[in-house]
Chains A and B, each alone.
Chain A
């Protein structure tokens, strides 16, 4: 998997024209908007994007305006991956008939955490099993933000949402975040990776690798949402950094089932004293504010314990036992 004539510097990114245009109607400080802008800068030529219903679909295609400078297809919540497999199959047959002049046309399927964790997982699982050549990008803002912050399979344990409010009855969401990237690794697909927008170079390289690989690729991108997380819009990117530093969202990639940590997380694995406490990441986010009250102490300890457990499990999977 060679990343051909490909260098990523801020200058290259700044000089490459935007394919996700300004004037979209995302909230101020939207994490997913940054993610999409950057992902589109890592494309290598003709690209077709298909997107499930979700925040980014709504803000980018309010009639009669569109924020997409590439062919873009909106589809229902559950069918982003099914749509992508259809596009890929159509391109294959058109190429066979000599009707597509490009050497390769990349297909990207985009979905939020609702469209991947919960509603879209069967279409995704099916498309990956059939082995279509496309990149599935999950931008994970950890709840159904667009419809009013309802909990999803991607919402972390203890987070307050409108359908799992923290109060006297329950302390926020009771269940744990589903390890979706590991579920995708279990599909024995060629490329699975997690990325965070703060480590943009790492993220862009992973997008390019996912596009270049033959067969399905899955990219799980962490995308803070200031509206739903009740956090400061200016700190969206900072939270994406803290999530990696506290090992809440470690960065790794799996090539043909072989897991390896990416540089930012590898540095933490090699120097465990650099690993921050989860409180660094949780404080400042309104959805976790109940954890910092006296009665939330137990919950806070539990979140730290589960984060550490998951980190240790990942380390042993990557062959870096501590």
Chain B
């Protein structure tokens, strides 16, 4: 937070949150990135349901899933729950 933040007169009454948290990218927290093998993947969409961050999107027009690395925190739930083990977690190096 910078010192130039708004004062109490400018902020919304009672400090009501005004922005969607989708503006806050949590993807830079991660140390592991999910990698998917599209051949093994059966599109069961369990990973979409279990992701705590909503970082896996189902694209009906493509008939495929998409990882949103802007929000993925790299917890590895998707890799652990994948019934066909199509997802692996790769260590991220700078």
Residue numbers of A with Cβ under 8 A of B are 10-11, 13-15, 18, 20-31, 33-34, 37-38, 60-67, 69, 197, 200, 226, 232-238
Partner of A22, one of B11, B46, B50, B55: B55
In the complex, are the beta carbons of A10 and B51 less than 8 A apart?
no
What residues on B are CB-neighbors of A18 within 8 Å?
54
Output the least CB separation between A20 and chain B (Å): 8
What residues on A are CB-neighbors of B55 within 8 Å?
22
In the complex, are the beta carbons of B19 and A66 less than 8 A apart?
yes
Output the least CB separation between A292 and chain B (Å): 22
Partner of B21, one of A13, A22, A29, A38: A22
In the complex, are the beta carbons of A233 and B75 less than 8 A apart?
yes
What residues on A are CB-neighbors of B41 within 8 Å?
none
In the complex, are the beta carbons of A63 and B73 less than 8 A apart?
no
What residues on A are CB-neighbors of B17 within 8 Å?
61, 63-66
Chain B residues 41-87 with CB under 8 Å of chain A are: 44-46, 48-55, 57-58, 60, 68, 71, 73-77, 79-81
In the complex, are the beta carbons of B48 and A33 less than 8 A apart?
no
Interface size on B, residues (CB 8 A): 39
Partner of B58, one of A14, A22, A238: A14
What residues on B are CB-neighbors of A235 within 8 Å?
80
Partner of A238, one of B30, B46, B57, B81: B81
Since A22-B22, A37-B52 are in contact, a sample of 5 more A-B pairs with Cβ atoms closer than 8 Å, ordered by chain A residue number, is A22-B71, A26-B53, A30-B75, A34-B50, A64-B11
Output the least CB separation between A140 and chain B (Å): 16
Known: A65-B17, A235-B80. A21 touches B75 (CB 8 A): no
Partner of B77, one of A13, A20, A26, A234: A234
Partner of A60, one of B15, B21, B73: B21
In the complex, are the beta carbons of B77 and A197 less than 8 A apart?
no
Q: How far is the CA of A61 from the CA of B19 in the complex (A)?
A: 10
In the complex, are the beta carbons of B24 and A200 less than 8 A apart?
no
Output the least CB separation between B90 and chain A (Å): 13
- Decide yes or no whether B92 CB sits under 8 A from chain A: no
Residue of B nearest to A235 (CB): B80
Partner of A23, one of B25, B45, B75: B25
Known: A21-B54, A22-B55, A33-B52. A28 touches B20 (CB 8 A): no
Residue of A nearest to B81 (CB): A237
In the complex, are the beta carbons of A237 and B50 less than 8 A apart?
yes
Q: How far is the CA of A39 from the CA of B25 in the complex (A)?
A: 23
In the complex, are the beta carbons of B20 and A23 less than 8 A apart?
yes
In the complex, are the beta carbons of A66 and B20 less than 8 A apart?
yes
What are 12 of the A-B contact pairs (CB < 8 Å)?
A: A13-B45, A21-B54, A22-B53, A23-B20, A24-B26, A28-B52, A28-B74, A34-B51, A37-B54, A66-B19, A197-B50, A233-B76
